[in-house]
């Protein structure tokens, strides 16, 4: 954080405030790394479900349920946060909820399917709320021309938090295995470690990050009902602002592929290549190192070559990763695939968040990021469940499932590059009304805030402005 250039930040924003913002990425990354990606997912399939054929599908359905809840509640929650200037206050509540639910996972043992599903749904819902709310602070902190860099700083810093949590968990697992303990004895302790790091690290965020928004007119009377009415008005006007909806449509596809990797990487490693728990954790540790480098490096590249071009590069990288993973018959090839996945993970996640911020008006940041979360969580349902269904239909063939995952990234490229196939996908989605539910509204007459100074226009024109190199 000490290398942040003053010209990258908005007037009045201090470096320590950006550090506090980035510390939330540091804090919550341990949850996705240990719970969703490296430890609890494999524990759920192998121990809680007893290695049953339906275990992978059950895990993806649990994640799907949590994401379904987020999809239909986060936009309204974001609208409420904007109306009441309550991003930081809501962030505190959701953080406490995720920490508590993660600690609750420590009570899950063999056969505790209902308990496991309940705790994972609660923890993942609260995590997603926090992820969206913290992202809404980004345009308040960074100048428009530097938003890619600042987003990249946050993502890269976050991966170090994931590595810290994973490293502490790995150290304990190695010690526990040396003592002859089984997974049902040491995995619960890793959940407590994850909860502790999340809670303690997030304290810096609440101490340093400012709530810069001010309550909007009528906020004192605004509750959830008013937030829902506002959101309904937004969706009714969606077709008049096709640029943001185009971005969200692209995100639905490529984020579906990313969701598969996040949720099922450990399952793939153990089921296909026979990785042990410690090997899987070391693999994910390597992924986090590569992801940190990808997020940091691509943050600068985005601001120079354009966010669309940078995102397209990472999506091609994701396709290469799926081919490597599907072809892997030795650990070395799969490790190479993991490095590619890490580089693409950090860069694509950072680019998506930055592009969403560029389109968001200053007074509706939480609402817009709530819609971004809607798209991302929709993808988090579609991707893993598709993977789970493919494995079920192919008698547990994970190689076919990972190849199918590559199609999500290919679709993302088609949409992002505005190909004929991309237009076809967009038209289908709009005809069916899906885009209507994902898009954002036309701003009120006279509003010139944020990125919405640009008049409503076709998506090509708007994207060209953010995709070209800086002068």
CATH of the domain at 206: 1.20.1250.20
- The answer to whether residue 155 is domain-embedded is yes
- The answer to whether residue 314 is domain-embedded is yes
- The answer to whether residue 4 is domain-embedded is no
In sequence order, the 6+-apart residues with CB closer than 8 A to the CB of 179 are none
The domain containing residue 296 runs over which residues? 13-212+222-467
Phi, psi of 230 (to 5 degrees): -65, -40
Q: What is the DSSP letter of 468?
A: S
**135: region left, alpha or beta (phi > 0 left; psi from -120 to 50 alpha):** alpha
- The answer to whether residue 87 is domain-embedded is yes
CA 80 to CA 75: how far, in whole Å?
9
Give the pLDDT confidence score for residue 344 in this predicted structure: 87
List % helix, strand, coil for the chain (3-state, nearest 5): 80, 0, 20
Quote the pTM value.
0.73
- Look at the chain and report how many structural domains it folds into: 1
Q: What is the pLDDT along the chain (471 residues), one digit of tens a residue?
A: 445 666 677 777 788 888 999 999 999 999 998 998 888 988 998 899 988 878 888 998 898 899 888 877 877 787 778 777 788 999 999 999 999 999 999 999 999 999 999 999 999 999 999 988 998 888 788 887 777 778 777 777 877 898 899 999 989 999 998 999 998 999 999 999 999 999 999 999 999 998 877 766 654 454 556 556 666 665 555 455 566 667 778 888 999 999 898 888 878 888 888 888 788 888 888 888 887 777 777 666 766 777 677 788 889 999 999 999 999 988 899 999 989 988 888 778 777 767 776 766 656 666 666 677 777 878 888 888 889 888 888 888 889 999 999 999 999 888 877 644 555 554 544 444 333 333 333 333 333 333 332 222 333 333 333 333 333
- The answer to whether residue 275 is domain-embedded is yes
For the record, the structure tokens of 365 come out as 């940041």
What are the DSSP calls for 235-259, one per residue? HHTGGG-HHHHHHHHHHHHHHHHHH
CA 223 to CA 53: how far, in whole Å?
45
For the record, the structure tokens of 155 come out as 């993502």
Contact 308, 416 (CB under 8 A): yes
- The answer to whether residue 2 is domain-embedded is no
In sequence order, the 6+-apart residues with CB closer than 8 A to the CB of 152 are 295, 296, 297, 298, 299, 300, 302, 346, 347, 350, 354
Nearest to 196 by CA among 231, 224, 164, 154: 164
CA 187 to CA 281: how far, in whole Å?
12
- The answer to whether residue 134 is domain-embedded is yes
CB atoms within 10 A of CB 381: 22
- The answer to whether residue 297 is domain-embedded is yes
Contact 227, 370 (CB under 8 A): no
């Amino acid at each position: 954080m000490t290398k942040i250039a003053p010209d990258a930040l908005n007037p009045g924003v201090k470096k320590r405030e950006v550090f506090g913002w980035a510390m939330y990425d540091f804090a919550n990354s341990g949850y996705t790394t240990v719970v969703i990606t490296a430890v609890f997912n494999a524990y759920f399939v192998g121990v809680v479900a007893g290695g049953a054929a339906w275990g992978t599908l059950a895990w993806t359905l649990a994640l799907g349920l949590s994401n379904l809840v987020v999809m239909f509640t986060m936009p309204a929650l974001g609208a409420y946060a904007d109306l009441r200037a309550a991003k930081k206050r809501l962030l505190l509540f959701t953080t406490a909820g995720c920490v508590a639910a993660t600690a609750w996972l420590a009570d899950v043992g063999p056969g505790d399917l209902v308990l496991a599903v309940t705790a994972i749904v609660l923890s993942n819902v609260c995590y997603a709320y926090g992820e969206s709310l913290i992202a809404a602070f980004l345009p308040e902190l960074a100048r428009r021309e530097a938003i890619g860099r600042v987003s990249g700083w946050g993502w890269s810093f976050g991966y170090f938090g994931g590595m810290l949590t994973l490293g502490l968990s790995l150290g304990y697992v190695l010690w526990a295995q040396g003592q002859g303990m089984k997974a049902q004895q040491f995995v619960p302790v890793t959940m407590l470690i994850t909860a502790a790091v999340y809670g303690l690290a997030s304290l810096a965020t609440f101490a340093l990050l400012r709530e810069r928004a001010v309550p909007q007119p009528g906020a004192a009377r605004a509750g959830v009902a008013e937030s829902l009415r506002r959101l309904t008005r937004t969706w009714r006007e969606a077709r008049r602002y096709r640029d943001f909806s185009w971005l969200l449509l692209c995100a639905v596809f490529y984020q579906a592929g990313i969701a598969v990797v996040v949720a099922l990487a450990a399952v793939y490693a153990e089921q296909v290549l026979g990785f042990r728990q410690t090997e899987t954790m070391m693999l994910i540790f390597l992924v986090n190192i590569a992801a940190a480098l990808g997020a940091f490096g691509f943050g600068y590249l985005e601001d120079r070559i354009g966010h669309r071009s940078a995102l397209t590069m990472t999506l091609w990288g994701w396709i290469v990763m799926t081919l490597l993973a599907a072809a892997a018959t030795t650990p070395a090839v799969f490790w190479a695939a993991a490095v590619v996945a890490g580089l693409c993970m950090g860069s694509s996640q950072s680019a998506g968040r930055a592009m969403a911020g560029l389109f968001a008006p200053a007074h509706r940041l939480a609402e817009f990021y709530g819609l971004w979360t809607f798209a991302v969580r929709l993808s988090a349902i579609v991707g893993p469940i598709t993977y789970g269904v493919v494995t079920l239909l192919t008698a547990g063939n994970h190689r076919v499932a990972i190849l199918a995952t590559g199609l999500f990234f290919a679709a993302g490229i088609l949409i992002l590059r505005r190909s004929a196939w991309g237009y076809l996908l967009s038209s289908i989605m709009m005809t069916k009304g899906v885009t209507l539910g994902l898009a954002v509204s036309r701003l009120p007459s006279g509003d010139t805030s944020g990125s919405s100074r640009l008049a409503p226009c076709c998506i090509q024109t708007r994207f060209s402005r953010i995709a070209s190199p800086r002068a």
